[in-house]
Structure 1
Amino acid sequence: MSFFDLSLAIKDIVPIQLEKYLRSSGWTDDEAIGDKAKVWHRPEKKYFDLELVQPLDKSLRDYMQRMYEAMQVVSDFEERPIKKVIEDVINFSSDIVRIRVINADVQGGVIPLDDGVLLFERAKDLLVSSSLSAFKKKRFFSGSWPSAVKDFLETLRFGQTERGSYVVNVIAPIMPFPEGDISEADSSITRSMSNNLAKSLEATIIAVEKYEESESLIFFEDAISSGVSANLCDAIIGISGVNRNRDVEISIELALAEIDSQKIVRKHKFLSRQVPVLATASEYYKGNFVINNYEVFGLVVRMDHEPTEGYGVVRVSSLVNGVTRNISIQLDLDNYWEAVKAHKPNIPVVCRGDLHVNPRSASLVNPKDFSVVRNPDMFDDLS
């Protein structure tokens, strides 16, 4: 960062924020020089001679130079780049969500226009989905937002973009917690949102990896309780670009102003090859999914057959992921008439195939191994 850029950043430092930063870092203020400056020292004996002079009055002619010198003292003491120190002082009371997209086409710090627009839109959606799931865990969010979520989202700001492929910063100032809205241990609504985002991203990665191994949708079902939703998946998919060809890295930096002892993973990475899995998860949460080689077990609740047709269709009431659905199954006539016989005495039937589900209907495609269950014990359990 050039001195010119540093000067621009130093202008954003608020003296009270620097004071809070220094005090939280262990510095002690020994004396004030009127209302113009304050002198700070380290309490450790080996740093007895280390002194920092903090300018307080921005109208001073040499304010920028003195503030730069103060930042340089902190930078040298912490052995960190002055740019990073200035950022931490400015954002002392803000959590930061850094969203990085990685691909050869963005390594120069630029991004195609359509992808850039989509990136900023989906970055907002990411924070919206996390905020909503902090209040209530759902598969898919739609409709109006709680007032506390609206108030929180209005405080968010996009910070300056960074090089390093292409990085977008979302700055979330610490916001007091509305009493009674969330039963969390966090002392601010901002930290509750940040922790919820971190937990939901970690749960998403775990579910994606387990699905890649087994192709079982049950892992996405398990992740709902951790804040994963269709909205979260769609946000990550959009961040990966119009062509869905970029890796996505999301990291969460916590404000130094609020102590947080929770051990939560703060950096998460999604590979471009995992985006189709996220799309599958999103459709599943919206009620559109396919389960291959699924076994339907339940009672026949409806039958349809035209005399001129060589097949019949039955609907079987069966549980799918804990929800009762009427599943349509097209059967040859021999099996269809067996299903008819099982209808009135309420004898359960079983059939295997590929289960196709959407919000309005469910059907078993490529059915096989249809049979009437004549085990009295199973019948007793069902009734």
Structure 2
Amino acid sequence: MSEPVPSVPIDELTTYLRLTSWAPTMSGSIAQLWSHPQFEEETLLVPLRSTASDYGKRMRILIQQLAQLERRDPQDIASEISLIYYDVTQLRADHPQLIDDSIPLDAGYQLFESARKIVISAAAATIRRQGHFGQSVPLKAREHARHVRLGQTRRGSYILPVISPARPAPPPLVDEQLHLDVNVEETLFDRRVMTTMARALKTLEEMVSRDRLPSSSEIADSVGEGVSRELCTALDSILSSTEISEIDFEFNWSRVSQPMGPEVALLTFPKESSAVVEHVADKLKTIRREREHVLFGVITDLHRGADEESRGGRIGVETIIERRRRVVWMELGEEAYQEAVRYHGSRTRIVLRGVLRMGRPATMDVSHFEPDYSLSEPSLLANPAD
């Protein structure tokens, strides 16, 4: 007997329909009709009142209709709609003697515990780059793990879905383009953490795929990509388990939020990569590298004296530190200063990495900065239905 098709929230449903090229053709107070250019003879009836007695029934009929048109399982479509505003990272643990999609209890416990530690380490690295956090993990990183969710385990080896919010932040008002909103920045933190996790794990995968151990300088550089001892030990605790032969990370990014860089799709760590991951973890405990903060902001001030031509200049960047707006000042060389001039002129937000000094004024020794497109709107949602 097949499982009953669940109802889904109306906001998630209409977002999914727009993303899959459906558009409303007629609208009333209790329902809408939607059409699709590929299915000219088909019309979807979308109920609008969740309090109506037949709301659940109408939704299930609609999902069944979508399943027939897309030739997919209704449960899969309902799940995709329900998770439209989330990033879902699937951790797949492979076991040589998998029985009915199950793994030994100890291995399962380790997978759940490591998933939590990986999320916390990624959140910590999103706040600041540090090779070894120890007891200095930011409180915000620990709190972040409390609202990341775990989905039901799925068939196909042993798959654990890690579900993180990815709702798009509302764009700032036109007359506030040069100022940051604390609540908007908080909304973006979830996607930034998942991006850090993907980049850090991608960096680790590249190191373990070589036919040699990574050098000390390569390991030190990996910190800038979000790699930390905590991330390595969490991953290694899974790989070193006698019951696990391979671990995969499959990133399913929400399509409603703008990508924050090249999107990572699938990363694989075979059991034999444990030695390299352990080596990186050991080195990160001893490598001396000044910790760097990561700041997201907008350039509000540009300054250089008449005698500083071709020698760079000083810029002020408005950012959010401990839920307060602050302007952080930094000295840049000529090439970087010219980039800052362009970003300021186009009102492009930036992400910076460097050593932060919280004085009056706050200053930063910048090691890297680049555009931050996290508030760009995905094109498919640029014209919402009336």
Identify the TM-score tier after normalising by the shorter chain: 0.5 to 0.7
Which moved further from structure 2: 186-195 or 54-63? Answer: 54-63
3-state SS of the aligned residue for 1:170? strand
1:250 match: 249
Q: Is the CA contact (8 Å cut-off) linking 1:107 and 1:164 kept in structure 2?
A: no
Counterpart check, 1:202 vs 2:219: no
User: Quick one: percent identity of the two aligned structures?
Assistant: 22
Question: Are residues 239 and 214 of structure 1, via their aligned partners in 2, closer, same or farther at CA, if it must alter by over 3 Å?
Answer: closer
The amino acid that maps onto 1:140 is: H
Instruction: String of CA shifts for 1:260-313, please: whole Å, max 9, x gaps.
Output: 2732322100000111221111111112xxxxxxxxxxxxxxxxxxxxxxxxxx
Rounded Cα–Cα distance in structure 2 between residues aligned with 1:222 and 1:132? 17
CA displacement, residues 94-131 of structure 1 (integer Å, 9 cap, x when unaligned): 11111000122335211211221111011011111111
- Aligned twin of 1:28: 23
Name the CA distance, whole Å, in 1 between partners of 2:2 and 2:29.
Answer: 29
Counterparts of 1:161 and 1:100, CA distance in 2: 10
Question: Aligned to 1:242, what secondary structure does the other structure show?
Answer: coil
Alpha-carbon displacement from aligned partner over 1:157-190 (angstroms, at most 9, x marks no partner)? 1111011110001111126779589xx9x98222
Distance 1:77 1:209 in 2: 42
Q: What is the rounded CA distance, in whole Å, between the counterparts of 2:65 and 2:142 in structure 1?
A: 40
CA-to-aligned-CA distance 1:192-213 (integer Å, 9 cap, x gap): 1121111111110112233x42
Q: How much does 1:144 deviate?
A: 4.9
> Which has the higher Rg, Structure 1 or Structure 2?
1
Task: Tell me, yes or no, if structure 1 residue 138 matches structure 2 residue 133.
Answer: no
Mind listing any 5+ residue stretches in structure 2 that lack a counterpart?
A: 170-178, 291-386
CA 1:280/1:107 → structure 2, altered by over 3 Å: closer, same or farther?
farther
Give the match's secondary structure for 1:199. Answer: helix
Q: 1:70 to 1:108 in 2, by over 3 A?
A: same
- Show the counterpart of 1:51: 43
- 1:285 maps to a residue whose letter is L
CA–CA separation in structure 1 for the residues paired with 2:15 and 2:181: 29
* 1:169 is aligned to 2:161: yes
Structure 2: distance between partners of 1:93 and 1:105: 36
Assess if the C-alpha contact under 8 Å between 1:200 and 1:226 holds in 2: yes
Once the two structures are superposed, the pairs formed by residues 178-189 of structure 1 within 5 Å of their partners are: 188-189=188-189
Structure 2 SS opposite 1:260: coil
* 8 A Cα contact 1:102 1:246, kept in partner: yes
* TM-aligned CA distance change 1:191 to 1:215, over 3 Å: closer
Structure having greater relative contact order (Cα 8 Å, sep ≥ 6): 2
Which residue in the other structure is 2:193 paired with? 193
Distance, in Å, in 2 between the alignment partners of 1:216 and 1:147 is 32
Alignment of 1:225-240 (within 5 A): 225-240=224-239
Aligned pair in 2 of structure 1 residues 267, 280: CA closer, same or farther (>3 Å)? same
**CA offsets 1:5-49 (integer angstroms, 9 cap, x no match):** x43xx14x21221122212322222334543x332112x2x5332
Q: Which moved more, 1:20-29 or 1:131-140?
A: 20-29
Contact 1:244 1:275 (C-alpha < 8 Å) held by counterparts: no
In structure 2, the partner of 1:298 is none
SS in 1 for 2:45: strand
Identify the residue that residue 362 of structure 1 maps to in structure 2: none
CA distance in 2, matches of 1:214, 1:92: 40
Q: List structure 1 segments (4+ residues) > 6 angstroms apart after TM superposition.
A: 320-323
Match for 1:213: what amino acid?
Answer: R
Asked whether 1:38 is paired with 2:32, we answer yes
Q: 1:141 to 1:244 in 2, by over 3 A?
A: farther
| 3-state DSSP of counterpart to 1:256 | coil
Partners of 2:193 and 2:247 in 1: CA distance:
20
Give the letter aligned to residue 203 of structure 1.
Answer: T
In structure 2, do the counterparts of structure 1 residues 107 and 263 end up closer, same or farther at CA, with 3 Å as the change threshold?
farther
Query: Which amino acid is 2:204 matched to?
Result: T
Aligned partner of residue 252 in structure 1, secondary structure: strand
Q: In the alignment, is residue 158 of structure 1 matched against residue 158 of structure 2?
A: no
Once residues 181 and 86 of structure 2 are traced to their aligned partners in structure 1, the CA distance between those partners, rounded to angstroms, is 23
Look up the match of 1:72. Answer: 64
Report if aligned partners of 1:174, 1:189 keep a CA contact under 8 Å in 2. no
Match of 1:221 in 2: 220
- Decide whether aligned partners of structure 1 residues 54 and 107 sit closer, same or farther in structure 2, where only a CA change above 3 A counts: farther
What are structure 1's unaligned runs of at least 5 residues?
A: 288-319, 324-383
CA-to-aligned-CA distance 1:71-98 (integer Å, 9 cap, x gap) = 1332344444333322210001111111
Counterpart Cα distance in 1 of 2:96 and 2:264: 27
The more displaced of 150-159 and 264-273 is: 150-159
Does the CA-based 8 Å contact 1:107-1:163 persist in structure 2?
no
